[in-house]
Each structure stands twice: as C-alpha cells, then as structure tokens.
C-alpha cells in the first residue's frame, strides 16, 4: 500500500474488484465522483457510480471481446469521493489532495473515474497531463465540451475539454470522436486545431497510429452512444455510436498504453428500465480490461 484514503465513502465494489480505501502499486483504482452540480438539463449523474456498480453484479468477469478476465488483475474499488453537493471546487481539490504525491508511472498506478457529470474529469485528466509529458487524450462524446464556460460556470460539464486544453502543450494531442452537437464556434475550434475524427474509420486509424508506448487517456461521456442504447444520460443526442464501435476502439487501446480513463454522465434514474446502468457497467468492464 502506498497511500491510505481517509475520507472515501463506502460502497459495494464493482464486479469482483477488491474494496479498499487505499492506493496500491501495480493496480487499477476505481473512484466514484457523485457530482452533478453544473448539470444544465437533466440532473441525476450523482447516482451514476453506485448504479453502475449495482448493475455489475449480473455480469461475467470475462470479456470475450478482449479475451481478458477482471479476476486476473489487481483492480481496487476505492468507493466514492466525499460528496460536496454543487461544490465542484471542493470535490476537485479533494481529488487533487489524495493524488498529488503519487507517481503514477513508476508505481504503475492507474485510476478509472466514474461519474458524475463530465466536469469531474478535469482533475483526473490534469493529473495525467502533469505526470505524462506526451499524453494523448481521446475524447468520446456527443458534445464538443469546448465552451469557454457555460451559464457562469468556468468549469462546467460543457467546457471540460476547453479547460483541459488550457493545460495542453505542443507535446500533447487531442482526438475527439462521436461529436454531433455544439456551437458553431466549437466546431470551428475543432477544425482549426484538427482535433475531430468525423468517421469511425478515421478515429480507428488515428488511434492505431499512436506509438505503442505513448500514454493515452480516454474520457468517455456516455452520451457518445445513441440514446436508443443509452437513454439514461442528462443530454442525449440522436445519431450516436453503438457498443460494437466502442469495442473496436477498445481492441486497439488494449494493445496501446492506456494510462487512465473516465466514464461519465450516467444518470440512472432517467432510464427506469435500468438498462443504461447495465450498459455502462459493461462499458466499465471493457475499459478496466483495456487498462491492463
């Protein structure tokens, strides 16, 4: 054990993971961010982490897609960060506090964040940007998230990628895919900086071209998927991707150097069938396995 986390909140662990409020070497850590304080349309993502964990109990630990099994790896569920309703700054500062003295690379520590709304990804992405000079950021989402603030909130869910962009250098690269909604200016931003892949093929080719040892972070907003598969999200957008496209991406990432990831914007109560939580839990299993 390299760090004890004092304030984490108890929860049932994700599928076969160990529940420990500790950071260990050579391990992947799940952390829940139950925060949806800047949500503009339909709130409820604060219930995402526990709904995703609950839905994981019906799953197999083995993925036939990636031919890997959760049970064969060191996966720790650290529970949820202490919730500060509507207090993005405090939530983010707490994450910063518990992770700032970690050395992700030399200790082979990985973190998979589950949200919560997309603004929670800021801390985890910054942590990886600080520790991996040449980090490549893969952003899967229906929305550009490139607004320079939204509804008076600089660190809004709608501006998360713009806030990450503030910290990127010429050594970093951003690839956005699944995008089908945003302001004209945001689309112009993507064009100017050549960050968008406009077809699945283009996206796959660009990920394939990343050198095997280059560190990659994946930030996945679940509204990337079509609302017919994933209705349980705050701002659904027609015309999204399906699970098989996601698996194509994960099969490539499995062979690369994925160093961190987040899965955000599951709002389970919006989908009363519970299917969105099951879908998100499966996406979580594949992501954990691609991180190994």
Binding site for Mn ion (CB under 5 A): 118, 141-143, 145, 221, 223
CA-nearest of 193, 114, 210, 113 to 146 is 193
Nearer CB in complex with Mn ion: 223/241: 223
Nearer CB in complex with Mn ion: 145/262: 145
Q: How far is the CB of 162 from Mn ion (least distance, A)?
A: 11
Nearer CB in complex with Mn ion: 141/241: 141
Q: How far is the CB of 226 from Mn ion (least distance, A)?
A: 13
Residue 119 CB neighbours (<10 A): 30
Give, in degrees to the nearest 5, the angle at Cα 36 between 35 and 37: 100
Instruction: Give the Cα separation of 156 and 140 in Å (integer).
Output: 17
Nearer CB in complex with Mn ion: 163/254: 163
Instruction: Give the Cα separation of 71 and 17 in Å (integer).
Output: 8
Q: How far is the CB of 258 from Mn ion (least distance, A)?
A: 19
Radius of gyration for the chain, computed over Cα atoms and rounded to the nearest angstrom = 17
Nearer CB in complex with Mn ion: 81/263: 263
Nearer CB in complex with Mn ion: 78/230: 230
User: Both tokens of residue 178?
Assistant: 């699944």
Give, in degrees to the nearest 5, the angle at Cα 212 between 137 and 64: 85
Q: For 19-75, what is the HEC assignment? A: ECCEECCCEEEEEEECCCCCCCCCCCHHHHHHHHHHHHCCCCCEECCCCEEHHHCCE
User: Both tokens of residue 172?
Assistant: 């970093």
Q: How far is the CB of 42 from Mn ion (least distance, A)?
A: 12
Residue 64 CB neighbours (<10 A): 7
Q: How far is the CB of 265 from Mn ion (least distance, A)?
A: 6
Nearer CB in complex with Mn ion: 118/285: 118
Q: How far is the CB of 109 from Mn ion (least distance, A)?
A: 25
Conformation bin of residue 152: beta by default, left when phi > 0, alpha when psi is -120 to 50: left
Beta strands across the sheet bearing 109-115: 18-19, 75-80, 27-33, 109-115, 257-264, 215-221, 136-140, 173-177, 196-197
Q: How far is the CB of 142 from Mn ion (least distance, A)?
A: 5
DSSP 201: H
Q: How far is the CB of 161 from Mn ion (least distance, A)?
A: 8
Nearer CB in complex with Mn ion: 80/233: 233
């Amino acid at each position: 054990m390299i760090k004890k986390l004092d304030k984490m909140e108890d929860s049932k662990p994700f599928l076969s993971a160990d529940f420990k409020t500790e950071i260990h070497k050579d391990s992947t850590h799940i952390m829940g961010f139950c925060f949806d304080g800047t949500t503009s349309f339909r709130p409820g993502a604060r219930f995402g982490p526990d709904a995703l964990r609950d839905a994981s109990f019906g799953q197999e630990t083995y993925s036939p897609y990636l031919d890997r099994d959760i049970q064969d790896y060191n996966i720790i569920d650290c529970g949820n960060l202490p919730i500060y309703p509507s207090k993005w700054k405090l939530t983010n500062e707490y994450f910063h506090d518990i992770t700032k003295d970690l050395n992700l690379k030399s200790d082979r520590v990985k973190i998979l964040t589950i949200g919560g709304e997309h603004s929670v990804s800021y801390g985890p992405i910054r942590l990886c940007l600080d520790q991996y000079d040449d980090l490549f950021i893969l952003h899967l989402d229906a929305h550009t998230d490139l607004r320079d603030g939204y509804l008076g909130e600089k660190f809004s869910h709608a501006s998360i990628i713009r806030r990450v962009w503030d910290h990127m250098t010429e050594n970093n690269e951003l690839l956005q895919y699944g995008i089908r909604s945003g302001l004209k200016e945001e689309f112009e931003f993507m064009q100017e900086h050549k960050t968008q892949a406009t077809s699945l093929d283009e996206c796959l080719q660009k990920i394939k071209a990343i050198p095997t040892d280059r560190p990659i972070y994946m930030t996945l907003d679940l509204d990337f998927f079509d609302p017919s598969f994933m209705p349980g999200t705050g701002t659904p957008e027609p015309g999204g991707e399906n699970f098989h496209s996601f698996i194509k991406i994960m099969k490539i990432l499995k062979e690369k150097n994925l160093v961190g990831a987040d899965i955000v914007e599951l709002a389970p109560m919006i989908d009363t069938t519970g299917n969105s939580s099951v879908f998100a839990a499966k996406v979580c299993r594949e992501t954990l396995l691609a991180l190994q």
